[in-house]
Structure 1
Amino acid sequence: MPSITIDVRQQYPKEIEIRILDSMHAALATAFGLGSKSRNARLVVHEPHRFNCPPGLDKPECYTQVSIECIPGRTLDAKRALYQAIVNNLQEFGIPPDHVLIAVREIEAENWGIRGGQAACDVL
């Protein structure tokens, strides 16, 4: 059920965009033990002048931010595994590991509306 947003500074071909989204799901599935139905991700392409990145990057066009919103409860080791899996998976697309920023935001289950407008704490 986590929600992923991937912000990038360049347009990729459609096939690559699909593979990037799939790679994010694969990282989450492995690190957090999710099933195939837990797919909630979006890829947002920004014009470079609208998406700042740290100075001095070798390939600033490859700078990528990954934001993950999820219900609390994953261990630090699971998060570490997630970070490594994301960085490793993005290397396939030419994105250097030091060009990736990952943020996990833990949101209490009562603050998620799912399955037709129910509070996640009532369903999960």
Structure 2
Amino acid sequence: MPATRIDTRRGWIGERRLAVIEAVQRALQQGLKIPDDDRCISLAEHDADAMIVPRGKGPAYSVIEIKLFSGRSTEAKRRLYAAMTDELSALGVPKHDIKIILVEIDPVNWGLRGLPASDIDLGFKIDV
């Protein structure tokens, strides 16, 4: 049940907002083995003067922050990073312009349906 936010500068996506979101969703599925209906992704486009980026980065520089339950293996994270850069590269984002940040949260600190996620059968494994 990751919660994902994409931050990027305005202008390069154009009418491809949904394509970018779907690319990120596919990467989450490939890397973390989540089901297709597990979706929580937002996209924020910022004016150039509202997002500073490292020198040498292009107009499509993007920061993808993923809040997820702790417990994923290093291999799952490697799969996720590779899938994310592959998916976004297909949309013209150079691999060196993609920054991925994982924020791991203990399931007891994630509320769903009025309960901590640690008390719910999620229907999928998080220790992949």
Q: Which runs of 5+ in 1 are unaligned?
A: none
Give the TM-score of the pair, scaled to structure 2.
0.89
How far residue 114 of structure 1 moved from its aligned partner, in angstroms, is 1.1
How far residue 13 of structure 1 moved from its aligned partner, in angstroms, is 2.7
> 1:106, 1:70 → 2: CA distance?
5
How far residue 118 of structure 1 moved from its aligned partner, in angstroms, is 1.6
Aligned pairs (5 A) from 1:1-124: 1-11=1-11, 12-14=13-15, 16-57=16-57, 59=58, 61-115=59-113, 117-124=114-121
Give the partner amino acid of 1:101.
K
Percent of counterpart pairs with the same letter? 29
> 1:13, 1:26 → 2: CA distance?
20
Task: Report SS of the residue matched to 1:53.
Answer: coil
Runs of 4 or more, structure 1, over 6 Å off, are none
> 2:46, 2:14 → 1: CA distance?
14
> 1:25, 1:7 → 2: CA distance?
15
> 2:50, 2:41 → 1: CA distance?
21
Aligned residues, how many?
120
Give the TM-score of the pair, scaled to structure 1.
0.91
> 1:48, 1:23 → 2: CA distance?
23
